Amino acid sequence: MAVSRREIKGFIDLVQGTLIGGDPVPGSRKAEFLRTGKRILKTLATEYLKLPPGTFDLRTNPAGPAVSGDVILHGEHVYVQFEQSAMTRCFLWRTCKERRDYTGGPNHWSQWDDLLDLEQFAEDILIELRFHHMPLVPPSMTAFRR
């Protein structure tokens, strides 16, 4: 089920508020960040980027009690990472060459409010991929596309 605009707005309010830390126990701000962040990235991957099953990974890392942890979408040619930081008020995304590529192309930083329009954010990713002549899904995997 797709994530709603209301859920995305709540997620943005969460990451723009007090720094998230502690243990990811049910009901905690950290657990909410990890759960909702993963739902947002799954919606981005499946409904807007149209990534076929098996062509991307969704990962969460709760990390330690002093930080938010992170949520990652790692596809064959796209990498998006959510984490809350005292240093930045945005999130990272970039191109990559495969799911084992952890350094990828140039870093792009998007404002959290960009998530309110997932369709436009997906289009920004697709434009960057076309610029670098990278297909969203490698040709060998296009048989899986619907």
Q: For residue 138, what are the CA distances in angstroms to 74, 121, 129?
A: 14, 21, 12
The domain containing residue 23 runs over which residues? 5-144
Quote the number of domains for the chain. Answer: 1
Tokens 């943005």: give the residue: 12
User: What pLDDT digit, counting tens, does each position of 76-88 carry?
Assistant: 999 999 998 877 7
> Please, are residues 58 and 45 in contact by the beta-carbon 8 Å criterion?
yes
Cα atoms in the Cβ-side hemisphere of radius 13 Å centred on 21:
8
134-143 pLDDT, tens digit each: 666 655 444 4
Query: Amino acid letter at 90?
Result: C
> Residue type for 139, please?
P
Query: What mean pLDDT comes out for the span 12-30?
Result: 85
**pLDDT tens digits, residue range 41-50?**
999 999 999 9
